[in-house]
Structure 1
Amino acid sequence: MAKYLLQDAGINWLAIMALLTFFIVFSIALVMVFGRGRRSYEEVANQPLVDSYPTTDDN
């Protein structure tokens, strides 16, 4: 029924639904990123600085 009310008013309801879907998904992603603690990112932040392969001259 709401679809027909929006159609008579000249509002594109598909565009509104797409915008709302994007906003909801983006908001969920933000909550997931900022909801994690700093400790969960420490290992990833130090990866470029840690040499995981020992260097030996036994080649």
Structure 2
Amino acid sequence: MSVIRKELEAIIMRLPVEKLKLLLDYAHELEEELTPEEIAEIEAGKAEMARGEWVDWDELKRELNI
């Protein structure tokens, strides 16, 4: 067994059930492959951010009074 697997196993054994559920959800996400459309959306979002086309979350909440 690899060092990484041993370390992961040790961490998993110490986690409470609530965090194990989160870890399982994340593991399922890691298994999924992105579609070409999802990759294109991610790249478009990165390009928007590079052009400065983004809004600060806290600022937006203040503007919307939420």
Alignment TM-score, normalising by the size of structure 1 = 0.34
- CA radius of gyration, larger in: 1
Task: Name the one with the larger helix percent.
Answer: 2
TM (norm. structure 2) is: 0.32
